[in-house]
Structure 1
Amino acid sequence: MTSDPYEKLTFDQTVPRALAHRQAVGEVFVTDSAPGADGDHLVAVQVPRAHSLWFDRLVPFHDPFSTAEAARQGSFVVLHRYFGVPVGLPFSLLRWQFRVHDLAAYRDDESSPLQGVLRYRVSGKSAPVGDFGDMALSGELTIGSATAMSFSGDVVFFGREDFAALREFQIAKKPAPDPAAVAPTPLDPALVGRRDRRNVVIGDGERFPYVIDTTHPSYFDHAYDHVPGPFIVEGFRQSAVVAACRAGALDSPSAAVLGCSTTFGSFGEFGALLECSAEITGAVDGRVNVALELHQYGKRLATAGIELGPYPS
């Protein structure tokens, strides 16, 4: 019997979709998990090449954002399988960040899906108490023999009744949705490095307005009572790319996200304008740093810092 925990992992089928907080099996990127050494946990992930969102790119490299999504799903699998957090509790992501260490590991050989192994450590926060708790996760993604990405995040989960009461209180304090409001027009896909207009999530303006299509099969895989975090982060990415290109700091919108750090302070609501501001904070040797803020009802809801850079030639 082997003692290598990596050899316990398989890529033959996905985990049950509820563990990854996805409704469609095709949106589940986690295939297996196992305890690792020293109290950590290993998660196998695979991103399909034919995915309508993550294959919509203009370069022969897999999108690092796709593995950030796989890591997000993997964190839920670890918490449910190994830390006793019940499936079905509402979760909220307070902070999520990642850094790409080896962009060459993401090169698409145009014949195989991207697959790798995530290593998680859970620490620094309280263990679950009943139906409430918060935890901090950190780890790395290995693709082949390369450490491709590191990541960390803070999550909090609630009892269903507590979460419903919280959301009722929050929504009651905000203006009612305006059914006559005109939805923003999405930007040309080429401006954000995509082919498919449906995958564009921002429009044009002094601040970039979010274009919210709740029928999108990936961004809105299931029903939400608020605008989901991964959709907001994609808007941060697209806003950063457009702002950097317009400022002349980035040569092409087909740029890689080399680092991303996001902090969420409040929920974004449907039926009201969400806008993203973007400010270039540095540009050295082809790498561009952009500071971003999400606004709604005149208040800042979330912040992000994104580093963009060219793919290897």
Structure 2
Amino acid sequence: MTKGQAESSKADLWSAGPLLITQSVPPGLIRRINSSDVFVTYLGVLAEDKFEVGVRWPGSHSFYRPVAADLHDPLLFLESVREAGVLIAHAGYEIPRACKFLTRDKRFHVADPEGLRTNGSDPVDVTLVVTARDIQRRARSFAGMLFDAECYRDGVLIGSAAYRWSCVSAPGYARLRGQYRDAVPAAPADSSPVPHDLVGRCAPIDVMLAETAARSTWLLRVDPEHDVIYDHPMDHVPGNAIIEAGRQAALLVSNQPNAIPVGGELDFHHYIEFDQPCTVTAVPMSGTSTVRLAFDQGGVRMVDGTLNLYTP
């Protein structure tokens, strides 16, 4: 299939080939252990550096459950893009599974929140069209790239996302992490988690913030017993926990527990470690539905960015 053929019609995206992965994706191929957390269903090639990824959003999930007004969680969309990226890296570019991925930044936009509408308790199938850009190489190996993703439901574009990442070998990662390469998460030391209903969550274990005396500032808290966040061993706070904590801080500062994030930009500057407190600060941007976020640890800005909220 040529690039022109691939782009000639959106309908062609659902009959393209060849397929690299079909029917079911092994959890280990996307850095997961539990099959219930695997949302990607197949991988196909549309053109050079352009892929099609099938995704199934479950009618219910322990963490990425539907949110207000029977809409799928937009962070489920983001997690689907992450899984698609890992799948493409391994199966599409043959990056060894022993390599480690470092996320540099994430961007996403939901074109129409109605595109996230659930189908009762039945799953919803969507398709991601992912294009790899700005491909970086180190000798004969891939060092990183930018993934642009478009999400289609029944042939209609409902959202887009992009994230830039780099990868290093296992020995290189061990050198990079130094004293933290064997770090393990500890139970939250705080005794004042934010009430789960104020951040749109159904279970206390999903609360990622604890109260502080400072206005619009909370402590990051991630329970190591959370079997979705810590589905596999991690030596730092993972990105999905950071994004969820940012969402919760945005809901709190906006006093909108039923709002959903329909767009955002996050830059990851440093790993957030387990051995010292990390604060999360949220500031509404005047006259907009956008909230600015900052994650600080030891006086250093670790992550920052914005989230755009929408209330159904």
TM-score (norm 2): 0.87
Contact 1:131–1:158 (Cα < 8 Å) also in 2: no
Contact 1:256–1:308 (Cα < 8 Å) also in 2: yes
Using a 3 Å threshold, how does the CA distance of structure 1 residues 14 and 208 change in structure 2: closer, same or farther? farther
CA distance in 2, matches of 1:231, 1:213: 10
Report the equivalent of 1:204: 211
What stretches of structure 1 move > 6 A for 4+ residues in a row?
9-12
Report the equivalent of 1:249: none
CA distance in 2, matches of 1:58, 1:189: 14
Read off the aligned partner of 2:14 and give its amino acid letter.
Y
CA distance in 1, matches of 2:191, 2:291: 23
Using a 3 Å threshold, how does the CA distance of structure 1 residues 236 and 129 change in structure 2: closer, same or farther? farther
Report the equivalent of 1:183: 190
CA distance in 1, matches of 2:45, 2:187: 52
Using a 3 Å threshold, how does the CA distance of structure 1 residues 44 and 27 change in structure 2: closer, same or farther? same
2:67 is equivalent to residue 69 of structure 1: no
Structure 1 residue ranges without an equivalent (≥5) = 246-251
Contact 2:296–2:303 (Cα < 8 Å) also in 1: yes
Using a 3 Å threshold, how does the CA distance of structure 1 residues 8 and 58 change in structure 2: closer, same or farther? same
2:201 is equivalent to residue 194 of structure 1: yes
Report the equivalent of 2:57: 47
Among residues 81, 86, 107, which one is paired with 2:91 in the alignment?
A: 81
2:287 is equivalent to residue 283 of structure 1: yes
CA distance in 2, matches of 1:181, 1:83: 38
CA distance in 2, matches of 1:225, 1:130: 28
Contact 2:144–2:167 (Cα < 8 Å) also in 1: yes
Relative to its length, the structure with more strand (as a share) is: 2
Using a 3 Å threshold, how does the CA distance of structure 1 residues 239 and 117 change in structure 2: closer, same or farther? same
Report the equivalent of 2:273: 269
Alignment of 1:112-127 (within 5 A): 112-127=122-137
CA distance in 1, matches of 2:271, 2:65: 29
What is the aligned-residue identity percentage? 25
Q: Secondary structure, in 3 states, of the residue corresponding to 2:271?
A: coil
How far residue 50 of structure 1 moved from its aligned partner, in angstroms, is: 2.3
**Aligned residues between the structures:** 296
Report the equivalent of 2:262: 258
Contact 1:24–1:221 (Cα < 8 Å) also in 2: yes
Among residues 12, 18, 38, which one is paired with 1:28 in the alignment?
A: 38
Using a 3 Å threshold, how does the CA distance of structure 1 residues 12 and 155 change in structure 2: closer, same or farther? closer
2:308 is equivalent to residue 307 of structure 1: yes
Using a 3 Å threshold, how does the CA distance of structure 1 residues 185 and 7 change in structure 2: closer, same or farther? farther
Structure 2 residue ranges without an equivalent (≥5) = 1-5, 7-11
CA distance in 2, matches of 1:302, 1:98: 16
Deviates more, 1:49-58 or 1:101-110: 49-58
Using a 3 Å threshold, how does the CA distance of structure 1 residues 301 and 257 change in structure 2: closer, same or farther? same
Read off the aligned partner of 1:281 and give its amino acid letter.
M
